[in-house]
Amino acid sequence: MRLNTSVALCLLAAVSNAIPTPQEEISPADLPTEASPVETEANDQLAQLAEFAAQTTNETLAQNEKRGGCSLWNVSVRREWSALSKKERKAYTDAVLCLQSKPARTPSSLIPGAKSRFDDFVGTHINQTNNIHYTGTFLTWHRYFTWSYEQALRNECGYTGVQPYWDWALSSLVGLENTSMLDGSDYSMSGNGENVEKVGDIQLGGSPGLPALILPTGTGGGCVTSGPFKNMKVNLGPAGLALPGGTTVANGDGLGYNPRCLKRDLTDVIIRKYSNATAIANTILKPKDVYDFQMTMQGVPGSGNIGIHGGGHYAMGGDPGRDVNTSPAEPLFYLHHAMIDRVWWIWQLLDKSERTGAEGISGTGTFLNNPPSANTTLDTVIDLGYAAGPPMTVRDLMSTTDGPFCYTYL
């Protein structure tokens, strides 16, 4: 039987009632061009920029659907920790604990300290540290790494949610320990470390010839004693751990077995100074090419600014929070890098064709090109070793929806 017109119209009306009223379309002309120095205003600007990125991504998804690819119906939407329900938060930390309980795939002859699937990721990062920071692969490598970790949680530990991110602007506004992510409850990512005596500041040596950068210590410094990760063991490292008093320690190459507690030294001063809403908005709005963008984000050596990337890492503090090589042994690493990826995603979508193609890559395969190495190109291969596979070209990792990935951000 054919639907008669009035029934069809009626159904249509019912359907359109069920769809939330679409938000006002944002045109590029409406977007801010300069970050507001007022944090709350900059935070609103960020919301608008993210909305624009989501809108642009969704237009692509609607086109992809016709081609049978990643679509509005199956795209995963990554959200801020505070936007998850308690149940969703617990499901996430349970999956992380599960990954820490699964046997490693890395042969112990290669990385003796890798004892779990979680450690496979840490070991890969330690092994490649000098080839993935201040390189042409920084953004794509960490995008693929974070995505692979999310897939491991889903495929190996029964997690059905998506990778949450850490909005630093929120921490800057309310204080780290006042966020649901770090309040130490059973539904958090655990809280601060025990408050222990700390003598002296943190000094980052930087490259030879550059002045040391001084960072204050925070309100913890000892073992994490609350929340899901209170019994967690950090197995690998340290490989380049900055300690109060200006020293840096390493346990050989950091690949040996060295079980110890997870330490944190939450430092509001650092998140406020380097990763506030104005700093994030500036990182998105000022750089017009990817060289500038990734340098601003990681901090221009010698500038005295560690960038929004350094801000998140050093605000966690502790061990391995302050260890460039071993930092993925801190479960917060993946929420931090999801935010790095989100900021990049927002920046990319301000000029999609340019910034997801060859023009969106700059740099070589070595830390500040030292020692000199070949330029990174769309054909450069990224290999996550025993953590995950398969090796992928940079080309495949430039978009969160047009290649093998299928995710977006709220």
Nearer to ligand NAG, 182 or 261 (CB): 182
**CB-wise, 97 or 201, nearer to ligand NAG?**
201
User: Could you say which residues in the range 123-152 bind ligand NAG, by CB under 6 A?
Assistant: 124, 127-128
Q: Residues 69, 206, 216, 246: which binds ligand NAG (CB under 6 A)?
A: 69
- The identity of residue 282, as a single letter, is N
Task: Give Cβ neighbours of residue 119 (< 8 Å, ≥ 6 apart).
Answer: 100, 104, 106, 111, 113, 235, 236, 329
State the Cα angle at 28 between 141 and 300, rounded to 5°: 40
Tokens at 196, concatenated: 């222990």
Question: What sign does the CA torsion over 216, 222, 226, 231 have?
Answer: positive
The position carrying tokens 């984000």 is 297
3-class secondary-structure state, position 399: coil
Q: Is 274 in the site for ligand NAG (CB under 6 A)?
A: yes
Q: How far is the CB of 242 from ligand NAG (least distance, A)?
A: 19
User: From the list 45, 71, 116, 188, which residue makes contact with ligand NAG (rule: CB under 6 A)?
Assistant: 71
Binding flag, residue 296, ligand NAG (CB under 6 A): no
Q: Least distance (Å) from ligand NAG to the CB of residue 22?
A: 7
Helices within 102-158 (DSSP H only): 117-128, 138-157
Report residue 111 as tokens.
């990385």
Min dist CB 307 to ligand NAG, Å, is 8
Binding flag, residue 184, ligand NAG (CB under 6 A): no
Q: Which of 70, 169, 215, 340 binds ligand NAG (CB under 6 A)?
A: 70
Instruction: Count CA atoms within 13 Å of residue 302 on its CB side.
Output: 5
Q: Which of 119, 268, 319, 402 binds ligand NAG (CB under 6 A)?
A: 268
* 393 belongs to the binding site for ligand NAG (CB under 6 A): no
Residue number, 2 or 379, with CB nearest to ligand NAG = 379
Does the protein bind ligand NAG through residue 272 (CB under 6 A)?
yes
Q: Quick check: 250 binds ligand NAG (CB under 6 A)?
A: no
Query: Angle at CA 321, nearest 5°, toward 317 and 324?
Result: 125
Nearer to ligand NAG, 1 or 18 (CB): 18
**Binding range to ligand NAG, per CB under 6 A, among 51-59, 153-161, 319-327, 389-397:** 51-59
Residue placing its CB nearer to ligand NAG in the complex, 147 or 386: 386
Q: Which long-range contacts (CB under 8 A, 24 or more apart) does 363-367 make?
A: 363/134, 363/135, 363/136, 363/137, 363/138, 363/291, 363/294, 364/135, 364/136, 365/131, 365/135, 365/136, 365/137, 366/130, 366/131, 366/135, 367/130, 367/131, 367/133, 367/134, 367/135
Q: In three state form, how does the secondary structure of 179-203 look?
A: CCCCCCCCCCCCCCEEECCCCCCEE
Is there binding between residue 178 and ligand NAG (CB under 6 A)? yes
Smaller CB separation from ligand NAG, 74 or 370: 74
Instruction: Work out whether 385 is an interface residue with ligand NAG (CB under 6 A).
Output: yes
Interface with ligand NAG by CB under 6 A: which range of 152-160, 243-251, 275-283, 347-355? 275-283
Give the helix, strand, coil percentages of the chain, each rounded to 5.
45, 10, 45
| SS3 state at 323 | strand
Nearer to ligand NAG, 111 or 234 (CB): 111
Q: Measured from the CB of residue 285, what is the shortest distance to ligand NAG in angstroms?
A: 13
Using the contact rule CB under 6 A, the part of the chain among 48-56, 191-199, 257-265, 330-338 near ligand NAG is 48-56
HSE, side-chain direction, 13 A CA sphere, residue 186: 4
- Asked if 381 interacts with ligand NAG (CB under 6 A), we say no
Position closest to ligand NAG via CB: 175
Residue 80 in contact with residue 167, Cβ under 8 Å?
A: yes
Burial 199-211 (b: 16+ CB within 10 A, else e): eeebbbebeeeee
- Residues near ligand NAG (CB under 6 A): 51, 54-55, 58, 68-72, 74-75, 77, 106, 110-111, 124, 127-128, 174-175, 178, 268, 272-274, 276, 278-279, 305, 375, 385-386, 406
